[in-house]
Amino acid sequence: MIPGAVAPERFSMRHQYTIRDAISFKGVGLHTGNEVTITFKPAEADQGITFVRTDLCEKPRIPALVENVIGVIRGTSLGIGGGVKVHTVEHVLSALSGLGIDNVMVEMDSSEPPAADGSSLPFVRLLDSVGRLRQVPRRKLIRLENPVMVSEENSTEAYEKHIMLYPSDTFKVSFTIVYPQRTIGTQFVEFEITENSFRKNIMDARTFGFLKEKEHLQAMGLALGASLDSCVILDENEILNRDIRYPDEFVRHKVLDVMGDFSLLGAGLLAHVVCIRSGHSLNVEAIRKVKKLVESGAGASFVNPMQDVSRPSLYSIRKGVKTC
């Protein structure tokens, strides 16, 4: 058993968790198209999530922290220099975040995790098969104290993307997407993120892409492992997959990505995250902004998860003022 771990009587979001045993899964990377074996292994408390490239000399480790983000094109990539990198880590991170697993080693013998079915579901099933171990230290938790906003403009299609973060007693995500294609259109969801809501509403929502983009992406070295088995593929008028898991599966997957990216804070977050047409780039920018607030001691701070995290004064999103 990992030092500092105890077998839990029931799951508690106040404690850190690892997994009980090692477990592996083989597949093909979504963008690289390379075969890969991913192995999850237990880790000691306070270690966090660490990716390990077992195919490289000395098996270099890449902590899953926003400081190590090196790319956000069609996924989130991490690296530590010297060509040591891992790509498209958000679905793995979302599975770990949704299950409340704080400390684990993620070994890979290639640069990208298996795409699996394009969601976090296969990784959740894998982790469920070995179970969790509660660890003695408390979970790290950040409270946002003031609103934060980040924006960027899509110059090609002439629209803006936004993420607004508001103080909250929980971690909540609201997401709006707008696509001109009638196969998607405008979709909106809002979830308070708990293990139950993740399992029920988010974990099996798959990544998606358009058939017309495939040739262009593959010329860039992307989507080389994409297929109807690993993502939802659309053209202008129809969805090519036989099955759609939810009418709004596309925006649900965006929430899945937010969960994975925001885990790069290295701590839980008490905030309402409101996203409008945003993606990995803005997610990372928002995380970096929150981290700077924590480091400066102004606007966000660590809280003790054993204490009541609620406060008598909360920021009202609708009114834009504090209400008592």
User: Does the annotation flag 216 for ligand binding?
Assistant: no
At a CB cut-off of 8 Å and minimum separation 6, what does 296 contact?
none
Annotated catalytic residue 15: no
Report the alpha-carbon distance of residue 241 to residue 233 in Å, rounded: 7
Q: Is 210 exposed, middle or buried (0-12, 13-18, 19+ CB in 10 A)?
A: middle
Q: What is the residue whose two structure tokens read 């293990």?
A: 195
User: Does the annotation flag 91 for ligand binding?
Assistant: yes
Q: For residue 268, which phi and psi values (nearest 5 degrees)?
A: -70, 160
Report the alpha-carbon distance of residue 315 to residue 311 in Å, rounded: 10
Q: Which two tokens stand for residue 259?
A: 């969960």
CB neighbours of residue 67 within 10 Å: 11
User: Does the annotation flag 15 for ligand binding?
Assistant: no
- Report the b/e string of 211-240 with b at 16+ CB within 10 A: eeeeeebeeeebbbbbeeebbbbbeeeebe
The packing angle between helices 249-262 and 90-98, to 10°, is: 80
Report the alpha-carbon distance of residue 294 to residue 149 in Å, rounded: 16
Catalytic residue among 15, 31, 272, 280: 280
Among 300, 198, 295, CA closest to 253? 198
Alpha helices by DSSP H, the chain: 90-98, 121-130, 195-197, 214-219, 249-262, 280-296
Q: Could you tell me whether strands 35-42 and 23-28 are parallel, antiparallel, or unpaired per DSSP bridges?
A: antiparallel
- One-character DSSP codes across 274-288: EEES--HHHHHHHHH
Enzyme catalytic residues: 280
Q: Which residues are annotated as a binding site?
A: 91, 253, 257
Q: Which residues are annotated as a binding site for Zn(2+)?
A: 91, 253, 257
